[in-house]
Structure 1
């Protein structure tokens, strides 16, 4: 590959390279069933539970970021909300059970998205510089990285942040040399991946996933100097990058 086509590519981790939301959905289904059992199906519905948990969950992420205790606490806070609303006294043992249920999501086996290995192998073989940028607690995210052997692709270019936003991405971009005209952010979150990339003046590829977490969904605004592309799978990423990089270089007369 021509050095003119070599790009710096920053990958998100959760629901970009490895599955994440489906594990939370599994726990949330168990949680909703448990609350219906405790409060009674005639007094509370699964849809009410899910709606209130999403509201509490999203508000908490805005405030404290991606911490491991936030998700189980959102289950407890939802439980306490309905305890007050339905005039049912909270029980310590039930709160403890919900904490254990919420924390169990971090113990489930990690599963890569289809094409993860093939996509990373191809991009690496083409000479691109690959980086990983993920939100969450270091211990939990590092466990995923080690299980998937992702350090083979990203080496020392792995960035874990509790808050994943424009400021965090900008700090990463300034921590080493990045040519922003040849840098890409690849992720499934419009809020934490794509919009910060546009603000930072780098290109982006939005991997649109079905049943996306509502926190990740915001109105997308395109940048004037950056390229933004939407795909539905990882396997589409290398071709988009090659085609767009080649187009830009032709326009600049550098090929």
Structure 2
């Protein structure tokens, strides 16, 4: 499928699992809480209940590690019939703290690609999650210098992107979004007549999965790595 990118003036990037590793740490945390709560339930049941709790809390807590910590604590209380020990609760809190203190591991080619593109395009970072955590990761990454604007969104739906583009005076036809999530980084942009490139990460949060029906008839590119963007925009 040939897509014409010659009118692109601004490129937006997702952060987590597009520029640096993120979801891997959540999977590791899930393994840890399954171990901590193994006396109360099976790993599969714990995983299911944790996801349900995250979805229940999403309107209240939003996205990010802190929301995840609160959901883990609530699941521990419920699955143990409120008999979980203080020591286990402390261990769960430490899982979250360790996640927040993880080093930022850039994905292959990130800095090279940003360096090249920033010379020709206006680059913005459009991510969701906890503001403090995302600011911390961005600072650790050393990538701040490449971005004209940084936006931490409460969510990534069509209205969020439309508001952002309007605020920055960007025409949808001149905007390209690059990210790992079809649900958050691709389909909302296609639906507002902007462009999008999908770069799948090896693991995806269940909340971010979409059906084939949702992608039918949608025009976007899927590539295997960020370096391929340079060939598409050449």
Please tell me the TM-score bracket, short chain as reference. Answer: 0.7 to 0.9
Greater gyration radius: 1
Which residue number corresponds to residue 235 of structure 1? 227
Determine which of 79, 82, 86 is the counterpart of 1:82: 79
Name the residue aligned to 1:10. 12
> For residues 34 and 111 of structure 1, do their structure 2 counterparts lie closer, same or farther at Cα, with a shift above 3 Å needed?
same
Structure 2 counterpart of 1:58: 55
| Contact in 2 for aligned 1:201/1:223 (Cα 8 Å) | no
Count residues in correspondence: 228
Runs of 5+ unmatched residues, structure 2: 1-5
- 1:124 pairs, out of 118, 122, 125, with 118
Corresponding residue to 1:31 among 30, 33, 39: 33
- 1:222 Cα deviation after fit: 5.6
How far apart, CA to CA, are the structure 2 residues paired with 1:57 and 1:66? 9
3-state DSSP class of the match of 1:69? Answer: helix
- Residue of structure 1 in register with 2:155 after alignment: 163
- TM-score by length of structure 2 reads 0.87
Aligned with 1:107 (options 93, 101, 105): 101
Any conservation in 1 of the 2:128–2:156 contact (CA below 8 Å)? yes
SS at match of 2:80: helix
SS in 2 for 1:234: coil
Moved beyond 4 Å, runs of 4+: none
Name the residue aligned to 2:70: 73
In the alignment, is residue 207 of structure 1 matched against residue 180 of structure 2? Answer: no
- Residue 53 of structure 1 deviates from its aligned partner by 1.6
- Report the CA distance between 1:5 and its aligned residue: 5.1
Q: For residues 231 and 123 of structure 2, what CA distance do their matches in structure 1 show?
A: 16
**Deviation (angstroms), 1:49:** 1.7
- Provide structure 1 residue ranges, at least 5 long, that are not aligned to the other structure: 243-255
Q: What is the CA–CA distance in structure 2 between the aligned matches of 1:218 and 1:63, rounded to whole Å? A: 23
| C-alpha distance 6-206 of structure 1, shift in aligned 2 (>3 A) | closer
* Residues 112 and 101 of structure 1, relative CA distance in 2, 3 Å threshold: same
- Shift of residue 68, structure 1, vs aligned partner: 4.1
Shift in Å at residue 6 of structure 1?
4.9
Native 8 Å contact 2:14 2:185 kept in 1: yes
Residue 45 of structure 1, CA deviation: 2.2
SS at match of 2:118: helix
CA distance in 1, matches of 2:61, 2:69: 14
- State the shift of 1:54 in Å: 2.1
Q: Could you tell me whether the CA contact under 8 Å between 1:198 and 1:223 is conserved in 2?
A: no
Q: Secondary structure at the match of 2:136?
A: helix
More helix by share: 1
The 3-state SS of whatever aligns with 1:102 is: helix
> CA-atom RMSD, angstroms?
2.2
Contact kept? 1:222, 1:228, Cα under 8 Å = no
Matched with 2:126 is 133
* Structure 1 residues 6 and 181, CA gap change in structure 2 (3 angstroms): closer
With normalisation by structure 1, the TM-score equals 0.81
